[in-house]
Chains A and B, each alone.
Chain A
Amino acid sequence: MQEALSPSSLASALNQLRERMGNSSDFIVREFADGPSAPPRMAVCYLTELVDQEQLSLLLDSLVAETRSDDDDAERIEADLRTRIRVGNVRRVHSSDEILAAVLAGEAAILSDGVAGAIAASVQGAPKRSIEEPSSQTVVRGPKEGFTEDLNVNLAQIRRRIRSPDLRVEERLVGRYTQTRVSAVYIEGIARPEVVEELRRRLDAIDIDSVLESGYIEEFIQDKSFTPFPTIQNTERPDTIAAHLLEGHVAVLVDGTPFALVLPVTFFKFFLSSEDYYQRYDIVSLVRIIRFISFFVSLLLPSLYVAITTFQQEMLPTTMLISLAAQREGVPLPALMEALLMELTFEVIREAGIRMPRVIGPAISIVGALVLGQAAVQAGLVSGAMVIIVSFTAIASFVIPSIAMSAAIRLVRFGLMFLAGTFGLFGILAGLVPLLVHMASLESFGVPYLMPVAPLRFRNFKDLVIRVPWRLMKSRPAVIGSRNPTRQADYRDKTGGR
């Protein structure tokens, strides 16, 4: 490999490393020498905050006990080191760049005089959050653990759920400065190889200085940027990821964030929750229908109200018309302005609710509910009916399980309100049709966004608006899980036609 190095080579290598790290105070170089005045023959480098102290002392113990062998053969020294080191994962690194990368990832680099390169031992032990209940996707029934910011913890949660050798994890580092670990997870034999290959291609093409959240990756690898609709799902629930993997989807986990990505996804996936498969199917079917109704309510209710009260009053029953007219008598604004104002107010309250410190919460709800709701109606600035419409719309938008989808609806809703205020029902249709056409044109990693409705895949209707009982879902969803279509044996056959 190389000839025996002069005694100065270790010192110079260490100096080089120190220099590259800019003599950072947390970069520790622990040197071992044979005697007080002898030059160091071995050194361990690490970043003090990234290593686990217990593992490190274990490592140091094993190194101190070492006595120098007489021969200077580099390979012998290395083999000797490898057998002595009492920590889990040990690997050989060659250049100083590699040594630094290992140190920055929390490994300890063991440099030895006379050996080119170093041995990296994993003694990582950076501080991490414990597993907690996911805050953005809660369930009544189902596992309560969520992902954390640590990729290894997250992968462990998936591996614990799918104990199959076919579960594949492919890791790469993205981000010139952050060197963030990004892992693609899929099940070999279920996921479509074209999707995995396409994902690899897109991930490899990313060249950015930093990746701090999976949102960075999502924006790079999604099919189309200029769309309000999410074409990649995100979740912080390991059970959701496991369920998707088993249906043939691919997951992307990013170190440093509890939000993992799922792809490819279709429009209808955003209305499903992992709990749908844990509760009884009939209840779930009802809930799903309610979700789809809520989708239309939160998308259309304010626009329909504006359109009908402004242009098509004749549609309303007479008694309702009179009551609405009486309410609107003192309102100075046209219905469109009234609706926009109220929607805007709600958006402000909602945004304030997210950012403000928890202790101020009650104050905002008092101001929001009493001042902006009741007082505004009493003062005659807005009609009571409008307050009802806007609040119902807001509540309906929270029924949709995916935050990304309900955000998309919020955006579209404002546009539709404008169209409704200017052209009535015709305007709403003129807004909805391009939206629908746009959705029909979207794809997520080659899967049409509106599948299974367009193109038709009748097999997938079993788990769309309604969910049939588990024993009837014998096959995986078409297209996405079509490589390995059979999900279960016939339950009735096995139980003797029960």
Chain B
Amino acid sequence: MMERQTVTVSSLAIAFALFEVGSTTLFLIGAEANQDAWIAMSLAAAIGFVLLMLYMAIYRADPHRDLFALCRFYLGRWLGNAFGFSFAAYFAYEASRNLRDLAELTMLILLNRTPLFVLLTITVLVVANTARYGAKVLFYTCLVLLPMMAVSYLFLNIMFVSMNLIRFQNMLPVLENGWGPIWQAAVPRIVSFPFGQSVLFLVFFPLAKASFSRLRSAVYVSYAVIAVVLIFLNQVNILVLGTGIAKNSMVPLLESVQLIEFANVFERMDIFFVLVLFLGLGIKMAAFLIGATTGLHKVTGIGYKKCVPLIGGAVYALSFSSPNYVHHIWLGKVVTYWDPLFQIALPAILLIVIWARHSKKASVLKKSE
């Protein structure tokens, strides 16, 4: 990056929230748990919070270095760069998944006859352009988009309630098949998507110009609020559609939105609402892209702005890895089992090494005294 950017805590916390929304509302999370998806999600959110505490512990141990600098400083040059590079690759892959999601969603709802590669190209250009400016501008953009997204989701739920579309019996019976399916849905699937993806913010935490405790409380509050919102939004699909339709629909939220209809004017609101989904997807993708670009920049030493087209091209190429959407979704499920490596294992190793090095240093200092 050209100059060291600093961001305000409020913008970081809000970007964190919108990042978590990301593509989550696109899918029915915890479909295996049927009507108990909310329990599975709550469970996963709780585990995700533990992970967030792990990331916070890493940040607290050394608040001046981002993820890649930490790897390099504490794990040595070779191992650190390998760690950093794998993180960058992971972020790039996640960005490519979002890219494909966005383009497929466009094909599905808006432009059925436009070739997929055209949509992928436009999207990657728009998002890479955002990444070019760096994290600060992305976070500022999030601040502007927050009210729009919040109002849209709020409006949606008010409509659901006022049009009497919510059926609470869809949530019953609770724990029909016991804890088994819930546990299976939550670990590791829901933990790693969406909650565990907050590992990305290890790249962004050091940009904040505030005390650790302020940042921590802001991020924790943001996480708590957004977790509740996501659990609620996810469960609304089941409440409106019932488990059967919600599970088998490609984009259950849009399916629910289509049921809203009043005054003969507001119909097919899903078309407008898909734009709101785009914003979430785009923010998440841009954040991952910035993370991956920062990684490549830090690991190889190539200038940040030069890394943007490199990572953008890689993400673009990766987004073609599935021949169709069904395969893309399936691949997503397979890859999820690898996510804990980046979200839990590597950060945990990093934290242990940092602590070990710190205690060693402390003991050396003590001895010298």
Contact = CB atoms under 8 A, between A and B. Distances in A.
A346 interface: no
Contacts of A429: 275, 278-279
B111 interface: yes
Given A433-B126, A437-B141, A450-B144, A455 B268 contact: no
Interface in A401-434: 423-427, 429-430, 433-434
A22 interface: no
Contacts of A437: 129-130, 133, 137-138, 141
B308 to A, nearest CB: 13
A423 B110 CA distance: 9
Residue in B11, B138, B141 whose Cβ sees the most chain A Cβ within 10 Å: B141
Contacts of A441: 133, 137, 140
Given A311-B111, A436-B141, A456 B129 contact: no
A317 interface: yes
The B contact surface, by secondary structure, is helix
Interface in A326-380: none
Interface in B227-270: 264-265, 267-268
Interface in B103-129: 106, 110-111, 114, 119, 122-123, 126, 129
B268 A314 contact: yes
A401 to B, nearest CB: 21
A426 B110 CA distance: 7
Contacts of A456: 8, 10-11, 143
Nearest to A419: B122
B82 to A, nearest CB: 33
Nearest to B266: A317
B352 interface: no
Contact of B110 (A425, A433, A454): A425
Nearest to B286: A437
A456 B130 CA distance: 20
Contact of A317 (B122, B137, B265): B265
Contact of B111 (A318, A426, A434, A450): A426
B280 to A, nearest CB: 12
B356 interface: no
A326 to B, nearest CB: 18
A455 B11 CA distance: 7
A424 B271 CA distance: 11
Residue in A424, A430, A450, A454 whose Cβ sees the most chain B Cβ within 10 Å: A454
Contacts of A423: 111, 114, 122
Residue in A423, A426, A430, A434 whose Cβ sees the most chain B Cβ within 10 Å: A426
B291 interface: no
Interface residues of A, number: 26
A60 to B, nearest CB: 62
A440 interface: yes
Given A440-B140, A441-B133, A456-B143, A315 B268 contact: yes
Interface in A424-469: 424-427, 429-430, 433-434, 436-437, 440-441, 448, 450, 453-456
B111 A424 contact: yes
A15 interface: no
A453 B137 contact: no
Interface in B275-292: 275, 278-279, 282
B8 to A, nearest CB: 5
Given A311-B111, A441-B137, A456-B8, A436 B144 contact: yes
A455 B133 CA distance: 16
A441 B122 CA distance: 21
Given A317-B265, A440-B137, A448-B140, A455 B10 contact: yes
B285 to A, nearest CB: 11
Interface in B59-98: none
Contacts of B126: 430, 433-434
A312 interface: yes
B140 A426 contact: no
Contacts of B143: 450, 453-456
A455 B265 contact: no
Residue in A424, A427, A430 whose Cβ sees the most chain B Cβ within 10 Å: A430
Given A311-B110, A425-B271, A429-B275, A440 B10 contact: no
Contacts of B141: 433, 436-437, 440, 454
Interface string B191-210: 00000000000000000000
Nearest to A434: B129
B267 A317 contact: yes
B8 A430 contact: no
A398 B140 CA distance: 29
Interface string B203-224: 0000000000000000000000
Contacts of B142: 454
B122 A430 contact: yes
A315 B260 CA distance: 13
A454 B271 contact: no
A426 B11 contact: no
Interface in B14-31: none
Contact of B106 (A312, A426, A436): A426
Interface in A472-489: none
A315 B268 CA distance: 5
Interface in A288-326: 311-312, 314-315, 317-319
Nearest to A267: B144
Contacts of A317: 264-265, 267
B264 A454 contact: no
Contacts of B275: 425, 429
Nearest to A308: B271
Interface string A197-219: 00000000000000000000000
9 contacts: A312-B110, A312-B268, A317-B265, A430-B123, A430-B126, A433-B126, A448-B140, A454-B140, A455-B8
Interface of A: 311-312, 314-315, 317-319, 423-427, 429-430, 433-434, 436-437, 440-441, 448, 450, 453-456
A-B residue pairs, 7 tightest by C-beta: A454-B140, A454-B143, A440-B140, A441-B137, A455-B8, A456-B10, A440-B137
Interface of B: 8, 10-11, 106, 110-111, 114, 119, 122-123, 126, 129-130, 133, 137-145, 264-265, 267-268, 271-272, 275, 278-279, 282
